[in-house]
Structure 1
Amino acid sequence: MTVPRILAHVLWPLAIMTVLHRVVIKAVNGSITNDFGTVYIATRRFLAGEPVYGENLLTVQPHYLYAPSGTFLLSPFGVIDNYTLARWLFILLNTAAILGALWLLMRLFDLDVRSFATPAIVLATFCTEAVTNTLVFTNVNGVIFLCQVGFLYLLHRRRLWWAGVAMGLSLAIKPMLAPLLVLPLIRRQWQPFVAAVAIPAAAMAAGWALTVDAGRYLETTLPYMGEVRDYYNSSLAGLGLYYGVPEPLVLVARILVVAATLLAVWLLLDYRYTNEVLWLTTTSGVVLTGVFLVSTLGQMYYSMMLIPLMLTVVVDKSLVRNWPAWLAAYGIFTLDFWESARWPYYGRLLEFAHPTIGWLLLLATVLVVLLWRRTDPRRHERIAPAATAA
């Protein structure tokens, strides 16, 4: 029996049982944090013609922060009278979306879905905090992840109109992936922007017309989303606020991260023609890492959107074939709980800061490898843009 076949026999049971455990046990059991509860209540009110944005935003409980466009698209779940059934369907939708995204990623990287790579990737993904808590907290990030991977896959396949549809659907729900529009912008491809703008605009128009208190979204919800909160916030601003770091220092750190992100994106242009898949996935990961760090809210489970970047490890000239990148991966994906009874201060510091440290280390690692390759042309074979077609 060959080694790949042995690995398939070993990994498939582990992957299947892990997925079942995350979905049937952990997700169904749920958590104190319940993102779907606010969605269900809001969509029920939306369908009944009642105010949607009237909750008290001063509490630390999950709040309903979706725009009227997101309310409109999520409203089918409000049609279901049984809350438990609606929540289970939402869990299944996000599970299917995550698995669909992994399948597309394997196609993007030309990996054989019949090989042991499939259970290995599924097992690794469902062991992450990002996927586990997306399902346990029952939020929509699994669908957003599918939209992200679909966007990258369709850009690579030159299905530009459909790439815009994938992006537009995600933006209609939440704007997390908007910075990735830099990819078609760099390639001067206008087609993705049509649906990426039209779909959110149409959903917003419909949602706005049907939401009785849509104006409160602009008056109350948007300003709240622009504030930095000091709980469940791994962004630089959130961590700085929690530990009382002076605002000027936090501002300097955020400016440095923006500069590092822009420099990395510029250096990654070297791969635009020589290895398009590597360019698309790495640039998307770098851009989102920078956004998670400098935005007003960065939550650890957002790291699901960095899975395409980490999967570039299978690609020649990958920038994550080094131990610092995977130390960073531990920081942003781990389910380990770091609070310590013996060293309470340091344990609590590691527990709160490891996602931020992981994002910083990942961005720094990619940037350092890019600079290291740029300083010695022998380490990095480049090709002139004029020699290839866009």
Structure 2
Amino acid sequence: MTRVARAVLWPLAVGSLLHIAVRSSTGNAYDLAILWRGGASLASGGPLYDSHLEFIYPPLAGWLLAPLGLLPFRAAVVVVVLGGLAAAVTAAVLILRLVGVRADSPVVPGVLLLLAHSRPLIGLLAQGNIDTVLLLAEASVIALLMARRDVAAGVLLGAVCAVKPTLAPVVLALVLLQRGRALLAAAASGIVLTAVGLLTVPDRDVFITGVLPLLADGNRDVLAPYNRSIHGAAVELGLPGGLDVALRVAAFGLACWVAWRRRSGPMAPLEVVPLLMLGTMLASSFSWANYGIYLLPLLLTAARPGSLVRSWPAWAGVYLFTTTNAWHIEDLTGLPDVLLRLLPLWGWLLLLGTCAVAALRSPPPGAPEPAGAVRPGWSPPR
């Protein structure tokens, strides 16, 4: 059966990945257009930030994008799409290896097939976004932490945050995991590289006086309908500001509690890092639906005994934030339309709630095992 499964799944996975590569390479790549213009301007000696503040990455990102600005836009799209797809596939394979799935297992093409049809990956590649590269960085930091290469993990994390601070919640993960050396390395590399970017970009003041306040306020107003955080839902549903803040604090606190409960053991980084990413996505002033890609390490722990996501409610939540079906109903307006557009948020909340229940039922780190308990991976004598 294993051979048959591989024979069926590999052609489906490869075909799906090729299809998404071709479709994305010929699309509009709206996000990349913004990055490409900023990089091209900086490469030609002009400013990095535009007057409408569409480019909102830190200054260091401008120098990394400058080479793309030297290419024709369509060529840049192909480069970013193929590179992003390769990064996502590499990240998935790396995480599967960390959870003990062998390369010849049919699970590998099965995961790649599902990934190729998931809303986050399709959306990121279609827009020419670089978050798939950050997914690989997240997986690499986790792998380095599990290998006890804390300094390397910290340096990589700091460098990534200096380019795009989406992985900033991983810094808190280092605190919960008690990885002091990684924390110091992340702070050092992040501060140094951020300073390099600020000192070398001509319009650095725009980032400080324009971009940072814009992000703190939840991004541009025109993007509000695409906000899938609790704050975005509160605005859409007209909830009081106090309730909005309380729900955001509660969601982030719950994610931190679950991460704290799972902070011990060799597999802890695989759960703690994405759990804190999930809490931040919920509590942030602005979160794209495509940010669900960062939860991949947590989802793939389902291959291991004792995982938080080995239950059907968890995967019902996964379906809600990964389905490509927009659930659009013609002429639907008002509250029902809003609730359907917020499906990724409901999926994130369901996943977090399921993880909290699973964590509550599992013993806390360091707790003595009850008499007669069977450890995962150990079989009693027959």
Q: TM-score, normalised by structure 2?
A: 0.90
Length, aligned pairs only: 368
Among candidates 276, 284, 289, match of residue 273 of structure 2: 284
Is 1:146 aligned to residue 136 of structure 2? Answer: yes
- Structure 1 residues 135-144 or 85-94, which shifts more? 85-94
- Cα shift at 1:343: 5.0
Is 1:71 aligned to residue 69 of structure 2? Answer: no
Contact 2:124-2:132 at 8 Å conserved across structures: yes
Distance change in 2, residues 1:265/1:379 (3 Å) = farther
Contact 1:338-1:348 at 8 Å conserved across structures: no
Is 1:6 aligned to residue 8 of structure 2? Answer: no
Write out aligned runs for 1:78-227 (5 A): 78-80=69-71, 82-227=72-217
Is 1:306 aligned to residue 283 of structure 2? Answer: no
Identity of aligned pairs, percent? 27
CA offset digits 1:104-140 (Å, max 9, x no partner) = 1122112111221211111111111111111001111
In structure 1, the partner of 2:45 is: 49
Contact 1:49-1:211 at 8 Å conserved across structures: no
Contact 2:236-2:338 at 8 Å conserved across structures: no
- Aligned to 2:209, the other structure's residue is in SS state helix
- Structure 1 residues 225-234 or 122-131, which shifts more? 225-234
In structure 1, the partner of 2:307 is: 318
- Cα shift at 1:167: 1.1
- Aligned to 1:75, the other structure's residue is in SS state helix
- Structure 1 residues 120-129 or 11-20, which shifts more? 120-129
Contact 1:340-1:347 at 8 Å conserved across structures: no
Partner Cα distance (1:240, 1:280) in 2 = 31
Partner Cα distance (1:176, 1:39) in 2 = 16
Partner Cα distance (2:113, 2:103) in 1 = 14
In structure 1, the partner of 2:337 is: 348
- Cα shift at 1:346: 6.0
Contact 2:96-2:300 at 8 Å conserved across structures: no
Contact 1:73-1:203 at 8 Å conserved across structures: no
- Cα shift at 1:315: 0.5
Is 1:40 aligned to residue 30 of structure 2? Answer: no
CA offset digits 1:350-374 (Å, max 9, x no partner) = 4321111111111111111211334
Q: CA RMSD in A?
A: 2.3
In structure 2, the partner of 1:362 is: 351
Is 1:328 aligned to residue 324 of structure 2? Answer: no
Is 1:16 aligned to residue 14 of structure 2? Answer: yes
- Aligned to 2:228, the other structure's residue is in SS state coil
Partner Cα distance (2:51, 2:237) in 1 = 28
Partner Cα distance (2:359, 2:174) in 1 = 22
Among candidates 231, 237, 246, match of residue 252 of structure 1: 246
- Cα shift at 1:240: 1.0
Query: Gaps spanning 5+ residues in structure 1: where?
Result: 58-62, 384-390
Contact 2:154-2:181 at 8 Å conserved across structures: yes
In structure 2, the partner of 1:28 is: 25
Contact 1:70-1:173 at 8 Å conserved across structures: yes
- Structure 1 residues 242-251 or 199-208, which shifts more? 199-208
Matching residue's letter, 1:137: Q
Distance change in 2, residues 1:309/1:37 (3 Å) = same
Partner Cα distance (1:23, 1:88) in 2 = 9
In structure 1, the partner of 2:378 is: none
Partner Cα distance (2:173, 2:372) in 1 = 22
In structure 2, the partner of 1:60 is: none
